[in-house]
Structure 1
């Protein structure tokens, strides 16, 4: 379900990462200060690639643990706190829901949260 819903979103809106960051900054304007290292386009590309990689490796627990631990350490060095992940998750689900529109279901929300 995660892969299928993400593929639908990317097909419908190639600017999907922009929507995620817009939703994040609307909910948590203080998060904007963490995103000054890269251009918005570059940041969106990195996010989309990382999410696609995670979805491609959902059944590979070793890869997921290693990769996500590395990403977590990198983000901690940038000043990201564990609490901030919840806000980013909310923004991600909001953007997925927005692009999916009528195709978004409670099951999709449950799968992504």
Structure 2
């Protein structure tokens, strides 16, 4: 996950560990009904999201070990998916994943249209 660079994990944690912990917390927060399952796409490249509910509502997770991120980067594929999906795209900011920190999940619906967007590459 990309963050603001100031929240790198200590050597005891890998980014993969933090991302997996973040995903588990996110699934717990979002799966409110047994017939609505968040499918994990993190290993699939080119989807433009980390997961989805029935290929209709897409979820992109950005995780960090410490405090909430102040700046987020989306890949071009993620941004395109967010733009096309509108309110059916959720940017999930999961923070506080390290031991001793407080877990927090922030959800931003339709981030491509309701936040300040600044391109970082072509």
State the TM-score, normalized to the length of structure 2: 0.38
State the TM-score, normalized to the length of structure 1: 0.40
In proportion to residue count, which structure has more helix?
Answer: 1
Higher relative contact order (CA 8 A, sep 6+): 1
